[in-house]
A and B are shown apart, each in its own frame.
Chain A
Amino acid sequence: MANAYCQCWPAEGTIESPVALLYNTFVEPVDWSDVAASVQGDDEAYGRLVRRYEKPITSLLWRFTRDPVQCEELVQQVFVEAYFSLKTYRGDAPLLHWLRKIATRTGYRFWREKAKGPQETSLPEFDVLEEIEAVEEDRIDPAEAATVLHTLLSRLSPDDRLVLTLLYFEECGTKEIAERMGWSRAKVKTQALRARRKMKEIAEREHLLERLGWTL
């Protein structure tokens, strides 16, 4: 199967290398062929990649903003950046991992830029908690739960927020967060510890559990 692909891969030592394909166990052959074609300037191939991975990337970036317009802009940014970095993709991890890394960094940059500007008033935003009645976990609307969590996390600094977002929303481990951000694992662990402490303070100050009726 792999040899069939090797026929059309010209240069050795680059992404088109048949050697890379033969020894690659991470990347789907269909991704490899589309990546190689995209590097050669095939728009259609890159369009296929975008359509294939748009959903998980949108899902990740939805954790960074709940504004659909901003989210769409971020998704576009990720795929444009990925296109121009495609030559550097070595295939030592699945393409989706590589795209998620770009998306996480794009989202983080977005938060940092936002943090430089005037801060949003958080109290009206926080009123969303008032709308939630004491209900069982199963009966909470997922969108409402996401909005509450997003609102709470938005009170943290971008670094703290990123670590907790990836831990809570994306269920990433500290190793994965470190890899995505290029941080050391020790930094992620320390950041997570600090962020959890702050998050707990905020949740207690806002009487989150009482409002949700989860005090039992």
Chain B
Amino acid sequence: MDALEGLVRLARKAREEPTPVFGVAEAVRLRILSEDQSPESVTLIPLGLFGGLSALAASVTLALAVQFWSYMTSPIMELVAPLPEIRLW
């Protein structure tokens, strides 16, 4: 006989084992009551709002990054270009 066949025979016998009876209905009712009465967990920022804010922040960051990138592409031009906001004389 194969070892696995032996296990199958054991399992067949094991299925005949009587199962304990606990009578959990009352305990379940009490647990449900206690969980129902427990204060609700504080809902943090809803996921949609959090996602929206993250997207907005990412857009602003991207816009600024693009501007600064255009400056960075030609730093020599930055040296010779007049600064429009500052009067030099």
Contacts and interface: CB of A to CB of B under 8 A. Distances in A.
Interface residues of A, number: 42
A64 interface: no
B11 to A, nearest CB: 4
Contact of A149 (B4, B11, B18, B21): B11
Query: For this complex, into which size category does the number of interface residues on chain B fall?
Result: 20 to 34
Contacts of B15: 142, 169, 171
Interface string B4-48: 101111111111111111111111110110010000000000000
Contacts of A102: none
A56 to B, nearest CB: 9
Interface in B36-69: none
A140 B16 CA distance: 11
Contacts of A79: 24, 28
B79 interface: no
B80 interface: no
A8 interface: no
A50 B28 contact: yes
Interface of A is mostly: helix
A46 B29 contact: yes
Given A200-B3, A203-B3, A212-B6, A142 B21 contact: no
8 contacts: A46-B29, A54-B25, A71-B20, A79-B24, A80-B28, A142-B18, A169-B14, A212-B10
Given A142-B17, A152-B7, A200-B4, 19 more contacts: A43-B32, A54-B21, A54-B23, A58-B19, A58-B20, A58-B22, A75-B24, A80-B28, A80-B35, A84-B35, A142-B14, A142-B18, A143-B17, A146-B13, A169-B14, A209-B3, A212-B10, A215-B1, A216-B1
Interface of A: 43, 46-47, 50-51, 54-55, 58-59, 62, 68, 71-72, 75-76, 79-80, 83-84, 137, 140, 142-143, 145-146, 148-149, 152, 168-169, 171, 196, 199-200, 203-204, 208-209, 212, 214-216
